[in-house]
Amino acid sequence: MPAHRQNRGTGFVNLLANALQKAGWHVEQPPESTDRGADLVARQGRKIYVFDLKASSEARKDRAIPLISQAILEAQRAAGQVSDRAIPVAVLASAHVSDSLAEDVKDFALRNAPDVGVGVIDASGFRRFMGRGLEALNAERSRLIETTRKEASPGNLFSDLNQWMLKILLSRSIPNSLLSAPRGHYENVSQLAEAAGVSVMSAFRLVRQLSEEGFLEERSGLRLVRTEELMERWLRASHYRAQETPARWILSAEKNRFHAALRSYVGRMASPSVSKQAGRVPPRLCLGLFAAAEVLGFKFVHGVQPHLYIERIDQEALRELGLSLETAGHQPDVILRVPKYPEAAFRAVVERDGVPTSDILQVWLDVSSHPARGKDQADLLRKRVFSQILDKARA
């Protein structure tokens, strides 16, 4: 793909291509000779349509009209390079396009470019096209997505998958040894969604929220700004009463081989034969809180029972680790936690010498409100690790 196309709203181009294909159109890549414009070329019967798409992070009229103007000009030029009978189509795309903005774009096009097909699309499936036989592509937005959008609140900024994507956006400033995540420069929502292994819609929602609240800069890719304030909000949102289950070693000697048992468990999880056995999928697990901090090289608090994050309380998995829930009348040896946000907790897990360990961001979030000197541990991490994140974010 030519370089000038790589920096566009690739995710929206894919959405448009899917819509065209579902409508029975034949979609193809534009020829290399179209040096400007032409994100897609589509054929419907004997008609050839050349689409130029402009994506906007903010669906406002003062931004939409200049973009659709540019798209009209580039679509006309690109259509002329494809065929003298090709129909130019200019498209404006944004995470959410209101009906009123769609009307504004339509009125502008009718007044200034009546011979060019024009349309708007958004991430909810809303499509509004006009002219040159394009009206058949029109569609209303999904009720479910629209309801989710209306009910969205600032608290959703730190949903399970959002926290995972935030870790990805911060990961370039954190060593691989402290956080496991894909590291790269993400030009758009589609690239972030692919890296995170989430839907484009999930990434759209996060990027929209970050942009609306002033935490994201998109001029040169997706870059977090005001990171210190964002992390403080994340920390406050993570303060909730975690459900903990005490467990004991089946044999007292098991305590000395806890890490070895975790290594063995992780090795078995990676075996295809285990996951297929009786249809059982072993739960994910990892060290958490102070035990994780120690493994990552930031030991500070002593004398606290190790915490083990486990995806669900699974008796077979616990037996493999040498643990039992029969704790009546005894002091627990290990504290089990089922994480409230499992994807954020487990997708970024670091393996240290084969031991699955919570990433450093997760440790910071989890220990900060712990009564056993958790605030002191969190302050240590902030000083020794996250000051680097804040410094790089300001650069």
Pseudo-torsion of CA 91, 92, 95, 101, nearest 10°? -130
Per DSSP (E only), the strands in 26-125 are 26-28, 40-44, 47-55, 87-94, 117-122
**Any idea what the Cα angle at residue 350 is, between residues 349 and 352, rounded to 5°?**
145
The answer to whether 339 and 346 have CB atoms below 8 angstroms apart is yes
- In sequence order, the β-bridge partners of residue 247 are 334
Question: Is 0.85 topped by the overall pTM?
Answer: no
Query: Nearest-CA neighbor of 238 among 365, 372, 375?
Result: 365
What's the token pair of residue 140? 């209303």
Helices 387-394 and 227-237: angle between axes, nearest 10 degrees: 140
Residue 279 CB contacts under 8 Å (≥ 6 apart), including other chains: none
- In sequence order, the β-bridge partners of residue 249 are 323
Cβ burial of 330 (10 Å; 0-12, 13-18, 19+) is: exposed
- In sequence order, the β-bridge partners of residue 310 are 285
- At 337-348, the pLDDT tens digits run 999 999 999 999
Sheet holding 323-324, edge to edge: 323-324, 244-249, 334-337, 307-310, 285-288, 355-357, 350-352
Distance CA 205, CA 161 (A): 11
- Give me the residue label for tokens 């098991």: 254
**Any idea what the Cα angle at residue 98 is, between residues 223 and 210, rounded to 5°?**
20
Domains along the chain with CATH numbers: 3-143 (3.40.1350.10), 145-239 (1.10.10), 244-391 (no CATH)
The CA-to-CA distance between both ends of the chain, in Å, stands at 31
Distance CA 122, CA 96 (A): 5
Per-residue pLDDT of the chain (395 residues; tens, 9 = 90+): 333 333 346 668 878 888 898 889 998 877 665 555 678 999 998 999 999 999 887 778 998 999 999 999 999 999 999 998 999 999 999 878 888 999 999 999 999 999 999 999 987 788 999 988 899 999 887 543 443 344 344 447 999 999 999 999 999 888 899 999 999 888 888 889 889 998 888 888 898 889 888 898 866 788 888 888 998 899 888 887 778 899 888 876 565 688 888 988 888 776 655 544 555 678 899 999 989 989 998 887 666 789 999 999 888 889 889 888 865 557 888 999 999 999 999 999 999 988 999 999 999 898 887 766 767 777 777 777 777 666 444 44
Q: Sign of torsion, CA 76 81 84 86?
A: negative
Q: What is the DSSP string of 22-41?
A: HTT-EEEPPPTT--S--SEE
Distance CA 341, CA 77 (A): 49
On the CB side of 273, CA atoms within 13 Å amount to 2
- At 93-143, the pLDDT tens digits run 987 888 899 999 999 999 999 999 999 998 778 899 998 889 999 988 754
Sort strands 223-224 and 244-249 into parallel, antiparallel or unpaired. unpaired
Distance CA 172, CA 228 (A): 16
